[in-house]
Amino acid sequence: MKNIIKTLMLGSALILGSCDSLLETEPRQSLTPETAFSDVESFESLLMSIYGKVRSFDYYGQTMMVAPEIMADNLRLIANTGRYVGEEVNADRAHIDIWEFEGDDDPNEFRGIYAGINEANILITEIDKVEGDEALRTKLKGEAHFLRALFYFDLARVYGYEPGQEVNGFNASVILRTTPTLGFSDADFKARSTNREVYDQIESDLTSAISSLGGQSVGTEDNYRASKGAAETLLARVYLYEGKNSEAAAMATQAMASMGLTNSGEGLVAANAYEEAFNTFPNPESIFEIEIRSVDWSTVDGVNNSMSSLSANVFTGAQFIVTATDELLASYGAGDVRRDMWDETTRSGADGVVYASKKWLGSKGDFLENLPILRASELYLIRAEARQKTGDNAGALADLNALRSKRGVSALAGITGNDLFQAILNERRIEFALEGHRWFDLKRNGLTISKAGSAEPVPYSDYRILAPIPQDEIILNDLLENNPGYN
């Protein structure tokens, strides 16, 4: 019996589907097991299932946006609903868990990052075995490579150190799977690959995606799906995490060209349109955006789990449990339109003034909104940081000021070295507040995790920098080693 359970836990079940699930009247993650893949076109429904994983509340729909902010120094709790209480104080084993989570469509069915990876593996390996339009085949494979890269990148940065930033030489990352588990006979157990091996796979997937996908402009509905520019942007971010700074700068430049962005900041929204951009769909700065429609949620999803519910109080029944820390609010400069994205208000049970986010206002109605995952502003900050780290202070400052010119703040001048690096890091902090970057920006640079208020900072050498592997996975897989400190 234990072996049977082990097999079931190894990966997602193969869920087959048809293009009927792409209709507006059906949730896009719903696939019918009765229909087999008979041609290239029929794989598009499987691709929609993979996209559906991204918007899960246990992934980018909430966890990857909120947890990295509250585990560092950008957010604090103002109501105890049981969520993020341990994460706020970095309690033992209170971390990000994206290895396994329940799906939106069936809470009794195993879901998680590896479910999405398995579906991507199925598409990548099986689509060449059927007939159909070659251009569509290439496109679908490119999108699957992009999504698999995204999944592995997030797993790698949650559960492992970045290459070159290892503590005590510990370089285990996550289990690497690039072939599908189609049934019990395909199931096996694997040990964790090294962080270098996982990042090499991410780079390979994104390189394949770049060569397979077409270009498109920033801020269009085409960006609800992966594009060449999205793959280039994610690869630039990956290079920055790896410390491949010359490659990060070059890839950011390439992505900017693909998306129609100029060195002076043309293509970014103006300061007076920044707030509106987060309540416009697609966001005018979107490079990759998760579209969420009412049919994709159950009747209680919005009020219980949405970003709008957790971070704002615009709808009756909102959770409104997180607010900006004093430290974050103090990070904004005079005239910065991003400071205006925090609306001064009160909350029953919370002492004094608190701040509701105006990024996530549920502007599509009833807590509903899209979530931009990759935005154009990140390219300027990736290139600025990469240039600073390679000694190009002038280029780094130019990129930083190109973004600042669109945010209502004055240009910076005369700073170099660590002062410039800290300015870039702060710019990332305020630009991406409530978008899930803060913890990872500190971690990937080998920095102590700074905390708000009286909470104790987390040294980079602390075991809590890495998330624990889920215990049930450790029990089921004898080859799976947990992270240091969790044994």
pTM for this prediction: 0.93
Q: Which two tokens stand for residue 361?
A: 């206002």
Q: Give the Cβ contact number of residue 169 at 10 Å.
A: 6
Of 213, 433, 149, which Cα lies nearest the Cα of 307?
433
CA 267-306-292 angle, to 5 degrees, is 55
Which residue from 390, 450, 348 is spatially nearest to 74, judged by alpha carbons?
450
Pick from 146, 140, 143: nearest CA to 19: 140
> 18-22, 180-184, 467-471: which range is least confident on average?
18-22
Please answer whether residues 173 and 193 qualify as being in contact, where contact means their C-beta atoms are separated by less than 8 angstroms: yes
- What gap in Å lies between CA 207 and CA 300, rounded to an integer? 40
Distance of CA 28 to the CA centre of its chain: 20
Give the pLDDT confidence of 48-65 residue by residue, as tens digits: 999 999 999 999 999 999
Mean pLDDT for 105-113 is 53
Round to whole Å and give the CA distance between 354 and 324.
8
Report the number of secondary-structure helices (H) and strands (E) in the chain.
18, 8
By C-alpha distance, which of 330, 354, 360 is closest to 430?
Answer: 330
Which pairing describes strands 101-102 and 342-345: parallel, antiparallel, or unpaired?
unpaired
pLDDT at 419: 98
Tens digits of per-residue pLDDT, 298-308? 889 999 999 99
- Give the tens place of pLDDT for each residue, 395-443: 999 999 999 999 999 999 999 999 999 999 999 999 999 999 999 999 9
* Rounded Cα–Cα distance for residues 253 and 296 (Å): 35
Report the pLDDT averaged over residues 195-203. 98
Residue 301 has a pLDDT of: 93
Residue 32 binned pLDDT confidence (cut-offs 50, 70, 90): very low
Q: Are 451 and 458 in contact (CB under 8 A)?
A: yes
Please report the pLDDT score of residue 22 as a whole number: 32
- For the chain, give the mean pLDDT: 91
| Residue 34: pLDDT over 80 | no
* pLDDT > 50? residue 91: yes
Cα dist from 427 to 331, 355, 382, whole Å:
9, 20, 11
Q: CA 307, CA 75: separation in Å to the nearest integer?
A: 13
Which of 45, 24, 23 shows the shortest CA–CA distance to 35?
45
Average pLDDT of the segment spanning 462-483: 95
> Tens of pLDDT along 215-231?
999 999 999 999 999 99
